[in-house]
Amino acid sequence: MKRTLAQRMTEGGYDGYAYAYPHKTAYRPLNPRVPLAEAWRGEEKRNLFLYVHLPFCEMRCGFCNLFTTVQPGAGLVDQTLAAIYRQSSAVSGAIAPENISQAAFGGGTPSFLSALELEQLFNHLSLVWPVQWHRIPVSFEMSPGTVTREKLDLLRRLGVDRISLGVQSFVPEDLISLKRPQPSGELERACHSIKAGGFSVFNVDLIYGNEGQDARRWQRSLDRALEWQPEELYLYPLYIGRLTNLDRSGRHPGAHRRDLYRQARDFLLAAGYRQISMRLFRRWNVIRDTDYCCQEDGMIGLGPGARSYTRALHYSTEYAVGQIGVKKIIGDFNARAKSTFAAADYGVSLDEQEQRVRYIIKSLLRADGVSPSAYQRSFGSPMTGDFPQLEELTELGLAVESNGCLRLNDEGLAWSDTIGPWLYSDAMTARMSACELA
């Protein structure tokens, strides 16, 4: 029987981070393969998001089960970049993009690449994609140990306007508990260099909820973060996934994650930040305009672990967790001939009902909420008729109607990781749980 939202909340509520619906565990081999020209026919291609995934890190952090490999040799990096170039040319040729409106480089740790490799990567992308880096938001993820002045100067010159630094915590005891070793002074040096680089947005990622982290220790980390005056902060509740080092050591997130969340939210709101979603806080005077609309526009993912989305098809390379699986997928990706990249062979189709679910999840979990009239314009039917369960949100005091939108209130946003999975369709939930890696 489907659990109600109230039941899910009683059971703890950290059911999953619904940033991309559906999760990759819903993807399967596509048989027959879908030519990209066909998948993208009829799609709007003026406001595309270009995402480049670089699956390399200096070390594997204890909490992390992202698609990445540690300490790759130079040969593996070269082969992966060469495969990305083949993929990029094949994909661009197949889908005929009109304009890239936003871009991001994520990982892994894209700054694991050398300055020369980064410059070559941007040069390649500039030749192949209709992109004007200096006119659009371009985000780039870094870890403290890979920050250098040379790379920052280059990225700034190439058009990157946002640096996102994986800090996780400013308190050494937390980093030990999270099993993310870091030489003393490295984080401060990285923050200094990024601030001196003059990027429009400096984002700091923090994780809360490791076993030893109490309210005082969390506050110390938040205070230290604000000393750097970041334009954005991403606050991630700790999840301990399968096959991570913390999981193997029998560790669990602390029972106090929601208390730490509320503490941080109240602190950041008082310090002049706006809440954009449960995880994202932005300084009140920072505006990051883009024509790309995450509910409706397409995403082009390049690299071994990237996903791509049209309205009706989400696809990627195969899914794996654990080092052996990830290494095999990178090896297979690197061995592919250019022509094979012009078709999707692993993914999931979204029928119109699934597209509606995705639209609701992507809109509702942002502080702006979901507009019933915009929904009706997109899908031709009333939102309340299609999603009668949304009433439960107002009944439970988690959402309000304001200015014509249904919005999660403070308490509702705190339960985002319950509300997202509660909205998943039964069919997609079954498909995701049937995946042996789920």
Ligand X SMILES: C[S@@+](CC[C@H](N)C(=O)[O-])C[C@H]1O[C@@H](n2cnc3c(N)ncnc32)[C@H](O)[C@@H]1O
Q: What is the DSSP letter of 296?
A: T
- Whether residue 32 is preceded by a cis peptide bond, meaning omega within 30 degrees of 0, is yes
The contact mask relative to ligand X for 394-423 (x = CB under 6 A, - = no) is ------------------------------
Assign 273 to helix, strand or coil: strand
Q: How many CB atoms lie within 10 A of CB 221?
A: 20
CA dihedral over 48, 231, 109, 251, signed as positive or negative: negative
Q: Which of residues 57-76 bind ligand SF4 (CB under 6 A)?
A: 57, 60-61, 64, 66, 68
107 binds ligand X per the rule CB under 6 A: yes
182 lies in the site for ligand X, by CB under 6 A: no
Nearer to ligand SF4, 12 or 172 (CB): 172
Site stretch for ligand X (CB under 6 A), options 154-162, 235-243, 264-272, 387-395: 235-243
Which residue, 108 or 301, has its beta carbon nearer to ligand X? 108
Residue 277: other Cβ atoms inside 10 A: 16
Binding mask 206-225 for ligand X (x = CB under 6 A): -x------------------
Q: Is 239 in the site for ligand X (CB under 6 A)?
A: yes
Options 102, 109, 111, 316; binder of ligand SF4; rule CB under 6 A: 109
Paired with 302 in beta bridges are: 52
The conformational region for residue 198 under phi > 0 = left, psi -120 to 50 = alpha, else beta, is: left
If the CB atoms of residues 16 and 35 are measured against ligand SF4, the closer one turns out to be: 16
Strands 162-168 and 138-142 turn out to be: parallel
* Binding partner of residue 238 among ligand X, ligand SF4, none, CB cut-off 5 to 8 Å per kind: ligand X
**Counting contacts by CB under 6 A, is residue 45 touching ligand SF4?**
no
Round to whole Å and give the CA distance between 98 and 130: 6
Tell me which stretch binds ligand SF4 (CB under 6 A): 104-112, 183-191, 366-374, 380-388. 104-112
Show contacts with ligand X in window 37-56 (CB under 6 A): none
CA distances from 295 to 8, 113, 194, 353, 355 (A): 26, 31, 31, 14, 9
Q: Which stretch binds ligand SF4 (CB under 6 A): 107-115, 193-201, 273-281, 289-297?
A: 107-115
Residue 295 token pair:
């509910």
Judged by CB under 6 A, which stretch of 85-93, 103-111, 214-222, 339-347 contacts ligand X?
A: 103-111
Residue 109 in contact with ligand X, rule: CB under 6 A? yes
Question: What is the C-alpha radius of gyration for the chain, rounded to an integer number of angstroms?
Answer: 21
Quote the CA–CA distance of 370 and 400 in Å, as a whole number.
11
Confirm if 94 and 36 have CB atoms less than 8 A apart.
yes
Q: What, of ligand SF4, ligand X, none, does residue 60 touch, CB below 5 to 8 Å by kind?
A: ligand SF4
- Phi and psi, residue 166, nearest 5°: -80, 95
The only residue of 22, 106, 254, 304 in contact with ligand X, by rule CB under 6 A: 106
Which amino acid type is present at position 138? Answer: V
Q: Is residue 168 close enough to count as binding ligand X by CB under 6 A? A: yes
Write the DSSP symbol of residue 374. Answer: H
Cα-to-chain-centroid distance, residue 303: 15
Q: How far is CA 406 from CA 386, 409, 434, in A?
A: 14, 9, 33
Question: Do the Cβ atoms of 393 and 5 come closer than 8 Å?
Answer: yes
User: Read out DSSP for 224-238?
Assistant: HHHHT--SEEEEEEP
Of 30-38, 232-240, 278-286, 307-315, which segment contacts ligand X by CB under 6 A? 232-240
CB 107 within 8 A of CB 54: yes
Contacted entry of ligand SF4, ligand X, none for residue 106, CB cut-off 5 to 8 Å set by kind: ligand X
Taking CB under 6 A as the rule, does residue 238 contact ligand X? yes
The C-alpha atoms of residue 270 and residue 338 are separated, in whole angstroms, by: 52
Out of 87, 88, 143, 334, point to the residue binding ligand X (CB under 6 A): 143
Structure tokens, 132: 């004007």
Q: Which does residue 236 bind out of ligand SF4, ligand X, none, counting CB within 5 to 8 angstroms by kind? A: ligand X
Considering the complex, what minimum distance in angstroms separates the CB of residue 156 from ligand X? 19
Minimum CB distance to ligand SF4 smaller for 71 or for 353: 71
**The one among 19, 236, 267, 379 contacting ligand X by CB under 6 A:** 236
One residue of 66, 222, 260, 383 binding ligand X per CB under 6 A:
66
Give the pair of three-digit tokens for residue 369: 């909420």
- Site of interaction with ligand SF4 (CB under 6 A): 57, 60-61, 64, 66, 68, 107-109, 143, 166
- Site of interaction with ligand X (CB under 6 A): 57, 63-64, 66, 106-109, 141, 143, 166, 168, 205, 207, 236, 238-239, 241
